[in-house]
Structure 1
């Protein structure tokens, strides 16, 4: 504590000697000045952690001194001490960014409490958070060994995300490393759980979680009413932790009614998961029902060109064939601005769907653009980048208008993404698809311990491009690399965000319903 420097500015500083001695006995170093002009000189000469400032001084008064102090160093906490409780004076002081104010006469305990509140809060919060996580770490480790159902995995993943966001505030590399290790272990166990249960879920729906192909019928459909305007926003590639960082921004305009999660189907890739959401069908069923509207991995045609057709077909099957439905897909900033400008045209429909692709574009850009890769080289930075994008996006502008128009909101995604760090070797011919987290093809060889293998894709309702096609999904944070170009793959793709595989981050994703404030 002896390195904490305090400056006390008061024209009656000599009368405050008992208070100053009290602080010095507590280990604080206190410099004493009786006027504002000298205080400004002291701040130029020395670094202070906190300033006590009398509001009513002759000559340069406290408010004027405060303004000049803030112009020199806006980060120093200033505690105003005043005899007056006049509202105008307090508004001036608070408007000038004081950290606290005290009414004379003050006692030493008030002074000490104000110091602790302004200087020690971060340390005390850090210590409490650290202590709480250390306790929770042991509990999570115990629970992880016993999780045996999908609800348990959802709960465990959300607890890990909670602590990840809490530890973001502390900048404690040691604790972050511990949490990262725990997340890796969780993904290792989750991989075994999904490998064991995934196929059964698809064949025994009663015991399955809500998944991509059942999401619309089970959770969206109950919110669709002809006399109650609703907008479903699907933000492509939005992880649960990314939702958590944009949630407080949205809650300025909306109240969260319900926040839950569902499981993306495999592959956790847009052409599979999002088509399943809009059709209410698994990919194999889409291909059988719609024929040429299903596009296989290596076909040149766009993979998500028929979402609106799939959506309208599902609406008809759910008994909404006569309802006017709007559908918009936003793939760039200008398209988002255009939608905002013409939003009144959209709102003639009782139900609208907006697909917002930007988060997906951001994750792919991180692979291909060095600048983006450097801006988001870990999950904390990726969350920060997502938040920054959202705060300045047409999507937020649209949400503000929807709130003003009293439109109910549903926000969800199709799948998440994971920061990949380790390669696993795979050999295949030119017919094998290019995705780094899942592969489909004939005659592939790979490390069996690193993948969830499906020899017959139809067992998990996936189409077979060829009669002998096999699907493999990379586990945890692995990515596929070809041996003949191994070093290139490792250098180029390590520490990038990918999707399509089997991990908590990719499979357990948010679904949120909101009501305008």
Structure 2
């Protein structure tokens, strides 16, 4: 590590010798000057040389505040600590207004100086070291959990731990540990795919106790809390992963109190057509297709696949609630829809016991990631993808609408239908013209595929899925694999590799957030 260099401007340098000797023994380099002019000259001539400036407020010639202004013009990001005998409030306010980094009163204790230096200059390094040490301690615990036999709840807890460390390592810029965590996450996804392979069909056929899944979500986790005396809003943010939720949580928490953070498992395929229709209908897709054939289209049929969510919601409410409740539904797929939501949100929630909002932006962002070069640059990795989500949310009509209703006593549920994963490994699939085009799952006849790369359901009814043809098989990509046909294999591999996709089996796609909040 390079030596931290301090420029200390004070006309009483003789009195500072004990403090300077103390800092030098601690490994810092201190360059003393006796007036503001010399301080400005040092910063100007040795641009980028100093890591921090200690600046006396009262010196002959120009004052500390004047010197501060000149230094900030030359080096806006150079930390400056004002040191003074003057406790006058207006001096402090001027210094703070000029963006000082800290304010110390004479006589200065050497330990105060050390604390300030560690906070302002050494802080990132100390945070990195502390984060690295704590993750190293946690690494073994996560590894042991991954390699042990876990149930659905334990897998959700491990996934949330991995996310916690992802965000922690991102924030501390601990790149070496982040690479290790990414490898550990890959291992976790490999074991999680085996877990789903062993248990998924049994869950659906009541051969063992399942976690809450898409078709149980509203009935199990939202409907019981609907209160006719207080509006309930159910917000479904399409394609919202747990890590994205944790990034926008601090923003939402300014206006809403998080009462409970929970999870559910998305059904397969982890796509809007299947998982979101299951959420609003309270049924698995195979049952929707059987009971309401007019409301279901198979993958190979033309037309919108999520055009009947409001009607499916109404039928589920009618089945579940003994007494009728007032409910509403609104879907946002573009900016005009977002503006309409902002303009009418109060009417929507005042006239309904339960109001459901579907907001599609994150899913559009995920798909656009493969279509627009600029988004390929902006969302080049997981950290950038999360950052882009935060930036969008803070400036979205959705956030304006939520801030607006936060002025009332409102109960808010935030959930999603599925997540997404960044794919890297191609896997060849051969199918006929009727085979679906999704990169993370396929349904078709006589599919040829690598068995180790997929979880297959050869009898769709076992997965509570529709059967488009007599010999239809569903296959789901495991881990970070994505399906490609042999034709133009290399071209499409280059095109889709390192993009965010969904439909298959991964922690990111299946384990989804469901958050209960209340306006403050």
TM-score (norm. length: structure 2): 0.96
Which residue number in structure 2 is paired with residue 13 of structure 1?
Answer: 13
Report SS of the residue matched to 2:494. Answer: helix
Which residue number in structure 2 is paired with residue 244 of structure 1?
Answer: 246
Which residue number in structure 2 is paired with residue 337 of structure 1?
Answer: 339
Q: Which moved more, 1:7-16 or 1:373-382?
A: 7-16
**Alpha-carbon distance in structure 1 between the residues aligned to 2:135 and 2:102:** 30
Which residue number in structure 1 is paired with residue 509 of structure 2?
Answer: 506
CA deviation map 1:392-429 (0-9, x unaligned): 11111111112122322110100000000010000001
**Alpha-carbon distance in structure 2 between the residues aligned to 1:254 and 1:96:** 34
Which residue number in structure 1 is paired with residue 460 of structure 2?
Answer: 457
1:369 to 1:303, Cα distance in 2 relative to 1, 3 A? same
Give the drift of 1:183. Answer: 0.8
Q: Which 4+ residue blocks in structure 1 deviate beyond 4 angstroms? A: none
Which residue number in structure 2 is paired with residue 120 of structure 1?
Answer: 122
**Alpha-carbon distance in structure 2 between the residues aligned to 1:243 and 1:355:** 16
CA deviation map 1:66-101 (0-9, x unaligned): 233223222111111122333333233223322222
Which residue number in structure 1 is paired with residue 368 of structure 2?
Answer: 365
**Alpha-carbon distance in structure 2 between the residues aligned to 1:416 and 1:93:** 47
Which residue number in structure 2 is paired with residue 475 of structure 1?
Answer: 478
Give the drift of 1:147. Answer: 3.3
**Alpha-carbon distance in structure 2 between the residues aligned to 1:15 and 1:156:** 56
Report SS of the residue matched to 2:158. Answer: helix
CA deviation map 1:339-392 (0-9, x unaligned): 112223212223211100000000000011111112112111111111111111
Contact 2:332 2:359 (C-alpha < 8 Å) held by counterparts: yes
**Alpha-carbon distance in structure 1 between the residues aligned to 2:276 and 2:399:** 22
Report SS of the residue matched to 1:261. Answer: strand
Q: Once superposed, what is the RMSD of the aligned Cα atoms?
A: 1.6
**Alpha-carbon distance in structure 2 between the residues aligned to 1:71 and 1:393:** 35
Give the drift of 1:328. Answer: 0.8
**1:203 lines up with 2:212 in the alignment:** no
Give the drift of 1:58. Answer: 4.3
**Alpha-carbon distance in structure 2 between the residues aligned to 1:88 and 1:326:** 55
Which residue number in structure 1 is paired with residue 353 of structure 2?
Answer: 350
Q: Which moved more, 1:58-67 or 1:473-482?
A: 58-67
Q: Which moved more, 1:213-222 or 1:89-98?
A: 89-98
1:417 to 398, 415, 420: 420
Report SS of the residue matched to 2:292. Answer: helix
**Alpha-carbon distance in structure 1 between the residues aligned to 2:42 and 2:409:** 55
**Alpha-carbon distance in structure 2 between the residues aligned to 1:70 and 1:332:** 43
Contact 1:2 1:27 (C-alpha < 8 Å) held by counterparts: no
**Structure 2 stretches lacking a partner, 5+ long:** none
**1:24 lines up with 2:27 in the alignment:** no
**Structure 1 stretches lacking a partner, 5+ long:** none
**Alpha-carbon distance in structure 2 between the residues aligned to 1:69 and 1:335:** 49
**Alpha-carbon distance in structure 2 between the residues aligned to 1:69 and 1:222:** 61
Which residue number in structure 2 is paired with residue 155 of structure 1?
Answer: 157
Report SS of the residue matched to 1:347. Answer: helix
**Alpha-carbon distance in structure 2 between the residues aligned to 1:334 and 1:399:** 17
**Alpha-carbon distance in structure 1 between the residues aligned to 2:22 and 2:159:** 49
Report SS of the residue matched to 2:386. Answer: helix
Contact 2:425 2:482 (C-alpha < 8 Å) held by counterparts: yes
Contact 2:341 2:398 (C-alpha < 8 Å) held by counterparts: no
Q: Which moved more, 1:379-388 or 1:402-411?
A: 402-411
Report SS of the residue matched to 1:414. Answer: coil
Which residue number in structure 2 is paired with residue 81 of structure 1?
Answer: 83
CA deviation map 1:293-324 (0-9, x unaligned): 11111211100000000111111112166322
Contact 1:417 1:498 (C-alpha < 8 Å) held by counterparts: yes
Give the drift of 1:334. Answer: 2.6
Q: How does 1:49-88 map to 2 (within 5 A)?
A: 49-88=51-90
Which residue number in structure 2 is paired with residue 101 of structure 1?
Answer: 103
Which residue number in structure 2 is paired with residue 384 of structure 1?
Answer: 387
Give the drift of 1:152. Answer: 1.0
Which residue number in structure 1 is paired with residue 35 of structure 2?
Answer: 35
Which residue number in structure 1 is paired with residue 132 of structure 2?
Answer: 130
Contact 2:346 2:405 (C-alpha < 8 Å) held by counterparts: no
**Alpha-carbon distance in structure 1 between the residues aligned to 2:148 and 2:84:** 59
**1:445 lines up with 2:443 in the alignment:** no
Contact 1:2 1:29 (C-alpha < 8 Å) held by counterparts: no
TM-score (norm. length: structure 1): 0.97
**Alpha-carbon distance in structure 2 between the residues aligned to 1:317 and 1:326:** 16
**Alpha-carbon distance in structure 1 between the residues aligned to 2:38 and 2:176:** 43
Contact 2:84 2:104 (C-alpha < 8 Å) held by counterparts: yes
Give the drift of 1:460. Answer: 1.2
Give the drift of 1:205. Answer: 7.8
Give the drift of 1:191. Answer: 0.7
**1:497 lines up with 2:504 in the alignment:** no
**Alpha-carbon distance in structure 2 between the residues aligned to 1:96 and 1:70:** 8
Q: Which moved more, 1:5-14 or 1:80-89?
A: 80-89
